[in-house]
Amino acid sequence: MSSALLSVENAVVDLPTPRGNLRAVDHVDLAVGAGRTLGIVGESGCGKTMLSRAILQLLPKKAKLSGRVMFDGQDLTRLPAEKLRKLRGRSLAVVFQDPMTSLNPVLTIGTQLIETIQEHLELDLAQARQRSIELLAAVGIPAPEQRLAQYPHQLSGGMRQRVAIAVALSCEPQLLIADEPTTALDVTIQAQILDLLAREQQRRHMAMIIITHDLGVVAGRTDEVAVMYAGRVVERAPTPALFKQMRMPYTEALLAALPKLDVAPHTPLPAISGRPPDPTRPLKGCSFSPRCRYSAERCGTEKPQLSTAETPEHLYACFHPIAARVGA
Amino acid sequence: MMLQAAPNPLMKVENLVVEYSVGGKTIHAVSDVSLEIARGETLGLVGESGCGKSTLGRAVLQLRQAVSGKVLFDGHDLTTLKGEALRQMRRRVQLIFQDPIASLNPRRRIGDIVAEPLVIAGVKDPEERKRRVTEVLSAVGLDPALVSGRLPHEFSGGQCQRICIARSLVLNPEFVICDEPVSALDVSIRAQILNLLEEMKARYGLTLLFIAHDLAVVKAVSDRVAVMYLGRLCEVGPSEQLFARPAHPYTALLIEAIPVPDPDVRPTQSVPVGEPPSPIAPPSGCRFRTRCPRADARCASEVPELRVVAPGQFAACHHPLV
Ligand SMILES: Nc1ncnc2c1ncn2[C@@H]1O[C@H](COP(=O)(O)OP(=O)(O)OP(=O)(O)O)[C@@H](O)[C@H]1O
Ligand SMILES: Nc1ncnc2c1ncn2[C@@H]1O[C@H](COP(=O)(O)OP(=O)(O)O)[C@@H](O)[C@H]1O
Ligand code: SF4
Ligand code: SF4
Ligand SMILES: [Mg+2]
Ligand SMILES: [Mg+2]
Beta carbons of A192 and B273 less than 8 Å apart: yes
Helix (DSSP H) and strand (DSSP E) numbers for chain B: 11, 12
B52 contacts B30 by C-beta, under 8 angstroms: yes
* pLDDT tens, residue by residue, A17-35: 988 999 999 999 999 999 9
- C-alpha to C-alpha distance for A151 and B140, rounded to whole angstroms: 45
Parallel, antiparallel or unpaired: strands A74-75 and A64-71? antiparallel
Question: For each of chain B's 322 residues, which pLDDT tens digit applies?
Answer: 445 556 789 999 999 999 999 888 999 999 999 999 999 999 999 998 889 999 999 999 999 999 999 999 999 999 999 988 988 888 999 999 878 888 899 999 999 999 999 999 899 999 999 999 999 999 999 999 999 999 998 888 889 999 999 999 999 999 999 999 998 888 888 999 999 999 999 999 999 999 998 899 999 999 999 999 999 999 999 999 999 999 999 999 999 888 888 888 877 665 567 778 888 899 999 999 999 999 999 999 999 999 999 999 999 999 999 9
Confidence band for A275, pLDDT divided at 50, 70 and 90 = confident
Sequence-ordered list of residues with C-beta below 8 angstroms from that of A278, at least 6 positions apart, any chain: A19
DSSP B108-152: S-HHHHHHHHHHHTT---HHHHHHHHHHHHHHTT--HHHHTTS-G
- C-alpha to C-alpha distance for B133 and B111, rounded to whole angstroms: 7
Closest CA–CA distance from residue B214 to any residue of chain A (Å): 7
Beta carbons of B272 and A253 less than 8 Å apart: no
Sequence-ordered list of residues with C-beta below 8 angstroms from that of B211, at least 6 positions apart, any chain: B44, B45, B46, B53, B54, B57, B177, B178, B179, B180
Among chain A residues, the shortest Cα distance to B243 is held by: A261
- Ligand 2: which residue has its CA nearest to atom 24? A45
- Report how far apart, in Å, the C-alpha atoms of B249 and of each of A174, B239, B241, B252, B273 are: 39, 16, 15, 5, 12
Among chain B residues, the shortest Cα distance to A214 is held by: B187
Within-domain flag for A45: yes
Structural domain count, chain A: 1
- Ligand 4: which residue has its CA nearest to atom 6? B317
Closest CA–CA distance from residue A122 to any residue of chain B (Å): 33
Question: Could you say which ligand is closest to the alpha carbon of residue B47?
Answer: 1
Nearest to A271 among B192, B267, B273 (CB): B192
Work out the angle at residue B60's Cα, subtended by the Cα atoms of residues B229 and B287, and round it to the nearest 5 degrees: 15
Within-domain flag for A274: no
Within-domain flag for A16: yes
Within-domain flag for A260: no
Within-domain flag for A64: yes
Amino acid at A271: A
- Report how far apart, in Å, the C-alpha atoms of B121 and of each of A110, A118, B116, B163, B237 are: 56, 64, 9, 19, 36
Q: Ligand 4 centre and the CA of B18: distance in Å? A: 23
Q: In which domain, by residue range, is A208 found?
A: 6-229
Closest C-alpha to B192, from B211, B165, B173, B215: B165
- C-alpha to C-alpha distance for B284 and A147, rounded to whole angstroms: 25
B316 contacts B302 by C-beta, under 8 angstroms: no
DSSP character at residue B71: E
- C-alpha to C-alpha distance for B263 and B245, rounded to whole angstroms: 24
Say what the pLDDT of residue A327 is.
40
> Please, which residues bridge with residue A15 across strands?
A22
Pocket-testing residue among B33, B46, B48, B55, ligand 1, by greatest number of atoms within 8 A of Cβ: B55
* pLDDT tens, residue by residue, A184-233: 788 888 888 888 899 889 998 999 999 998 899 999 899 999 999 999 99
Say what the pLDDT of residue B1 is.
45
- C-alpha to C-alpha distance for A210 and B133, rounded to whole angstroms: 44
Pocket-testing residue among B234, B318, B322, ligand 4, by greatest number of atoms within 8 A of Cβ: B318
Contact list, B261 vs chain A (CB under 8 Å): 215-216, 219, 243, 255, 258
Ramachandran angles phi, psi of A120, nearest 5°: -110, -25
Judged by DSSP in three states, A66 sits in strand
Sequence-ordered list of residues with C-beta below 8 angstroms from that of A81, at least 6 positions apart, any chain: none
Closest CA–CA distance from residue A280 to any residue of chain B (Å): 15
Q: Ligand 1 centre and the CA of B56: distance in Å? A: 10
- C-alpha to C-alpha distance for B132 and B112, rounded to whole angstroms: 12
Closest C-alpha to B46, from B36, B38, B57, B37: B57
We report the CATH number of the domain holding residue A83 as 3.40.50.300
A50 contacts A25 by C-beta, under 8 angstroms: yes
How many residues belong to chain A? 328
User: Model pTM?
Assistant: 0.89
- Give the mean model confidence (pLDDT) for residues A115-120: 90
Closest C-alpha to A12, from A51, A57, A53: A51
Q: Ligand 1 centre and the CA of B182: distance in Å? A: 18
B73 contacts B11 by C-beta, under 8 angstroms: yes
Among chain A residues, the shortest Cα distance to B239 is held by: A265
Nearest to B261 among A191, A215, A253 (CB): A215
Contact list, B290 vs chain A (CB under 8 Å): none
Say what the pLDDT of residue A311 is.
86
Most B CBs within 10 Å: which of A261, A272, A288, A293, as the mutation test of the B interface?
A261
Nearest to B195 among A189, A261, A268 (CB): A268
B255 contacts B246 by C-beta, under 8 angstroms: yes
B196 contacts B176 by C-beta, under 8 angstroms: no
Q: Ligand 6 centre and the CA of B60: distance in Å? A: 14
- C-alpha to C-alpha distance for B137 and B139, rounded to whole angstroms: 5
Say what the pLDDT of residue A56 is.
95
Nearest to A268 among B188, B198, B214 (CB): B198
Closest CA–CA distance from residue B119 to any residue of chain A (Å): 32
Within-domain flag for A304: no
Beta carbons of A273 and B221 less than 8 Å apart: no
Within-domain flag for A97: yes
Pocket-testing residue among B319, B321, B322, ligand 4, by greatest number of atoms within 8 A of Cβ: B319
Within-domain flag for A61: yes
Q: Is the CB of A318 under 6 A from ligand 3?
A: yes
